[in-house]
Amino acid sequence: MGLLSDPSRRKVLTGLLTRLNTPICIVCYLAGIVWFMGLAFEPFTLRTYMSENAMGSTMVEERFSSGERALSLAKEFDAHKRKAGGMPVEWLVKAMQSRGLEVFTQSFSRKLPFPDENKERYMVRGTNVYGILRAPRAPRTEALVITAPCSPGNTNNQAVALLLALAQYFRNQIYWAKDIIFLVNEHDLIGTQAWLEGYHHTNITGMEYSPLQGRAGSIQAALSLELSSDVITSLDLVLEGLNGQLPNLDLANLFYAFCQKLGVLCTIQGKLQRNDWDTAEGYTHAAQTMMLMVLKQACGRSWGDHGLFLRYHIEAASVRGINSFRHYKTDATTIGRLLEGMVRKLNNLLERLHQSYFFYLLPSLSRFVSIGYYMPAFGLLAVILLLRVSFPGLCHCFSVSLQPSSPGVLTVLTPVVISHLTGVALYLLPVHLQEMAVEHFPVSETEAVVLTAIAIYTAGLALPHNTQRLLSGEGTEQGWKVLKLTALLYLAVLLGCTALINFSLGFILAVTLVPITASITPHMPKALYALVMVLLSPAFTILYCVFIYQELIEAPVSVSEGWMLFLSVISQGILDHALYGSLVYPLLALFIYPCWLMFWNILFWN
């Protein structure tokens, strides 16, 4: 408190901050970026370790041996799938019943707000089949879930077959203390969503589904299995869930531990771990892996069936089999053993997974960066906004704006309200106006939605400052300073809250928004700064992310392909919001974009 109450020291501090404001801001920005990039450097990260006692010290011996039988089952399943032209519900029910499970089905239907062109679906109708293996050893108050999506075509047959083989094997074991639910869901995430909502008696997305006939206890953990070939070269672990939520790190540790034990190659973000951290290639590799995780987390969608479980406080991860051109192959028996081991350890849990971290970034499977290490990177960026707020000219405005009768507050109110109304339009209109757009223009519904969104976004650039000028005439010097103060504070709070819920999203937005918003004034060359502002606006951020993502997964795209991908990303974002309740689209449309418009207003103040 001495620093704040001693007037002479205060004066020195404020003098320092005022004089060196710009250099300090630049240093903070660069330090933030460097800190973030440094997170991938191995000496700065921690080695992963198993925190959960119940899973760590207990020995488990894997005995699953019916991998061959699983593969023949896969062929049978494939044949039935082809015959039924979708999910062979009756065959699955019979197959599960014959393995001694309590089997139930759930039908669901969902009309998408507009056709999904990536997956070619609009009216979705399907059935989930699930079987419950009751625990012989304990009261049935807790459960585990193993799920395999029944995908169209001949993908994922092996996953369903392995699921059935595991069910048969598990049925004969006596050590289960938790019910195990084997779920085969249709229409990937929509099916999972319907099943989870049915299981928890909620309805948050307007899905129509039949109630579940059989339930087990509260679900402790879930594993989703995706397997499309008889042999695989490596297993990939997918963690990113809805709204950037991640499962407890112990689940990743568990997977890694069993991969090590059984000698299976394991990857994360499709990237193998390298041991040469001290070389440039080694570092780049780790940085790429981490960047991929950041990009995937930032987009807020669920990257596998597990992502929706996380919302219900269920730790879940997807395990994806990858078959590439390596010589070293792993057969179905080993994958089965791996899953058996993981489920048995989860079965030993005495309480929910909570010991380890929930906020982390993974530069490789054996290294992690916890919240305490990565938050400073964001903090360094956010502090710039606060430094600019306390910039003396602005601080003085604060005193003026304290008096509600002064004109400052009212001149600020107009642009704030107009920006937010534009944001509301961007949020509501695309989906609601699609029919009108389709009537008048030669486009499909999906294109109509995306193009309307882009049109409103662009129109927003012209709208606010023109209306502002019409309403209150020439802006005053005082006016823009108060507006900038409000906007900077607003942005700081907004980014802070975003970074807490979804660090990656907050960080990416901060990287692009902070430099321009911190330096903007009306006295700059308009054309140049307008261009820079547009190039650093939220929509362009998404575009850059699309290109960087494609570059990182080693599938670079040309500009036109990138543009098409950008359009599909927008439509997917809107769909994710409507179908699963992803929050990225409303956040961008209702808060970030209006906030950015406020800065746009400042540039064109007079």
Q: Closer CB to other proteins, residue 398 or residue 547? A: 398
Write out the DSSP string of 75-99: HHHHHHHHHHTS--HHHHHHHHHHT
Q: Closer CB to other proteins, residue 24 or residue 530? A: 24
How far, in Å, CA of 452 to CA of 332, rounded?
Answer: 48
CB 390 within 8 A of CB 16: no
Q: Closer CB to other proteins, residue 456 or residue 492? A: 492
For the CA atoms of 533, 539, 541, 542, what is the dihedral angle to 10 degrees?
A: -170
Query: Minimal distance in Å, beta carbon 515 to other proteins?
Result: 21
Query: Minimal distance in Å, beta carbon 10 to other proteins?
Result: 7
Q: Closer CB to other proteins, residue 389 or residue 487? A: 389
**3-state SS assignment for residue 246:** coil
Q: Closer CB to other proteins, residue 161 or residue 382? A: 382
Q: Closer CB to other proteins, residue 279 or residue 403? A: 403
Query: Minimal distance in Å, beta carbon 491 to other proteins?
Result: 12
Q: From edge to edge, which strands make up the β-sheet containing 367-370? A: 46-47, 367-370, 360-364
| C-beta contacts of 208-211 below 8 A and 24+ residues apart | 208/108, 208/109, 208/110, 209/106, 209/107, 209/108, 209/109, 210/106, 210/107, 210/108, 211/106
Write out the DSSP string of 319-348: EEEE--S-S--B-HHHHHHHHHHHHHHHHT
How far, in Å, CA of 169 to CA of 340, rounded?
Answer: 9
Contacts with other proteins by CB under 8 A lie at 4-8, 10, 245-246, 310-311, 313, 352, 354, 358-359, 386, 389-390, 395, 398-399, 402-405, 489, 492-493, 496-497, 500-501
Query: Minimal distance in Å, beta carbon 573 to other proteins?
Result: 20
Query: Minimal distance in Å, beta carbon 389 to other proteins?
Result: 7
CB 337 within 8 A of CB 62: yes
Query: Minimal distance in Å, beta carbon 106 to other proteins?
Result: 24
Tell me the pairing of strands 315-322 and 142-150.
unpaired
Query: Minimal distance in Å, beta carbon 344 to other proteins?
Result: 24
Q: Closer CB to other proteins, residue 159 or residue 362? A: 362
Q: Quote the Cα angle for 335-339-340, to 5°.
A: 115
Q: Closer CB to other proteins, residue 286 or residue 499? A: 499
